[in-house]
Structure 1
């Protein structure tokens, strides 16, 4: 094999160098990012998402900016309230770059500037409030702080979307007093709830007893109504039975009289027969359960006729025997 000419090697090196330079001049910008390009040390243009080419040795990418929202947690800052209570307050700031050029060339350290501005503004706001107002007015403080920061950072190409006071730490003695107060408040609420529950329980028991008495009285009334109705029905049934018995007795008597009339219609009753029938009737009356018996005056004559009837009966029997 022959040796490679020097000229060929030089050309190859030059081509490789040019290819490396061309490849290095290609820039791919991602979504939600912006590249700032300087030409000969001066801002020239910004490159947004896509493929771009930077002229070698003349242009350079000076900065890469993210347009996404950024969250910064600042350490606790010592502050004094209106009633001279020293507290520690830490905040969280949510901001976003709206103008990458201003953000790059108007402020050297944006995070440090936001931190100092937040602490200064917060001290001014806390100094106008006492401790209780500071603990209960976080939303008001957050809103005022966000407005001040948004106005101040606008010239830096930033927009403060939200500021949150994450924690307020009072001194230990005040914390202990607050804890005791909270315990007393919880105990008071518990007692109030217990008293209210006991009251409601008594009301419910009273309502239940009242309802029970009402239902018991209603049941007693219905029972009395049913008993009265049953007694009424029983009296009606007894009356109907007695009436039916009287009717049956009258029907039987009528039937008996009818039979007697049918039997004796062809026989003329004699006075003696009538008297005998009267005596039989009196015997039946005497067989009753009455302790006293009232005999009419006419009945005494009937008793005197008994002997004469017996004599007539003997005479008739003697004649038959002869």
Structure 2
């Protein structure tokens, strides 16, 4: 029995020693205690502890953690009670402090968040609370990070998730927002109508200007045409007078031309005629013309008789 006991004892010792090997995963730390006293903080990798006298007291995650706390009742400076819930982002930077400096750290952070939120909101009015989320988040992060630093906790971010005013306040805010939207819509509508009227007036003005310019151009062209026609008539008249002067007409021809003009005037279309004084000598003029013709014929006959003789 002696050799078997020794072999069994050796196997027991080997198994006990092998049980002392521990592997620490990435992003975790182990708190090692020896006989109930802090001994070391194991980081990721392979470690060995003395069996029976050393133990892993706490496993601590080094990842960033997110905690969503329940809505907390807070009162603003103008005595409006509302419900606000927050989200806290934190990371454990000192596992030893986290394990030994605070009991139930998540509960401690939640209570600290609630009291800090009440203090900050108590200094703000309702409207400021609804429009100052960034200010609230920044103040809470600074305060929480400072308080939790001795616990080995780093608060990286705090976000106000929801702000829920009382129902009557919500209804009043909705009415106010609806009235504001209607006011903006009315303003936009009136501005659109005014812009449309301005554009229409500008279009009418431009159209009137173009029409006036077109009428002006037409009148100028018409006047130029009439002036050109008058000039041509005057030039023709002047040319006729020149030719008439070159022909050296007798007084009898001039009177005859005047009578022809009188005949044209009295072609039956005129209702009134102004007879010049020279018309009274029409008979004598015709007699003189007949005598001139008779004398011309006699001279012609006398000339023919002379030639026959």
Q: TM-score, normalised by structure 2?
A: 0.74
Gaps of 5+ in 1: 255-277
Bigger Cα displacement from structure 2, 109-118 vs 124-133: 124-133
Deviations 1:215-239 (A, max 9, x none): 2222322333333344455556666
Instruction: For 1:70-109, list aligned pairs within 5 A.
Output: 70-109=65-104
1:176 CA drift (Å): 1.9
1:167 CA drift (Å): 1.3
Structure 1 residue corresponding to 2:260, chosen from 285, 289, 296: 289
In structure 1, distance between residues paired with 2:303 and 2:224: 68
Matched, 1:310 2:297: yes
C-alpha change, 1:217 and 1:11, in structure 2 (3 Å) is: farther
Bigger Cα displacement from structure 2, 134-143 vs 223-232: 223-232
C-alpha change, 1:116 and 1:319, in structure 2 (3 Å) is: closer
Tell whether the 8 Å contact from 1:54 to 1:60 is kept in structure 2 after alignment: no
C-alpha change, 1:6 and 1:188, in structure 2 (3 Å) is: farther
1:225 corresponds to = 220
C-alpha change, 1:288 and 1:10, in structure 2 (3 Å) is: farther
- What value does the CA root-mean-square deviation take over the aligned residues? 4.2
In structure 2, distance between residues paired with 1:155 and 1:29: 25
1:211 corresponds to = 206
1:310 CA drift (Å): 3.5
Tell whether the 8 Å contact from 2:20 to 2:49 is kept in structure 1 after alignment: no
1:22 corresponds to = 18
Gaps of 5+ in 2: 263-277
Structure 1 residue corresponding to 2:46, chosen from 45, 49, 52: 52
In structure 1, distance between residues paired with 2:189 and 2:60: 61
1:165 CA drift (Å): 1.5
1:145 CA drift (Å): 1.9
1:147 CA drift (Å): 1.9
In structure 2, distance between residues paired with 1:282 and 1:140: 118
In structure 2, distance between residues paired with 1:139 and 1:215: 60
Structure 1 residue corresponding to 2:29, chosen from 27, 34, 47: 34
C-alpha change, 1:180 and 1:246, in structure 2 (3 Å) is: same
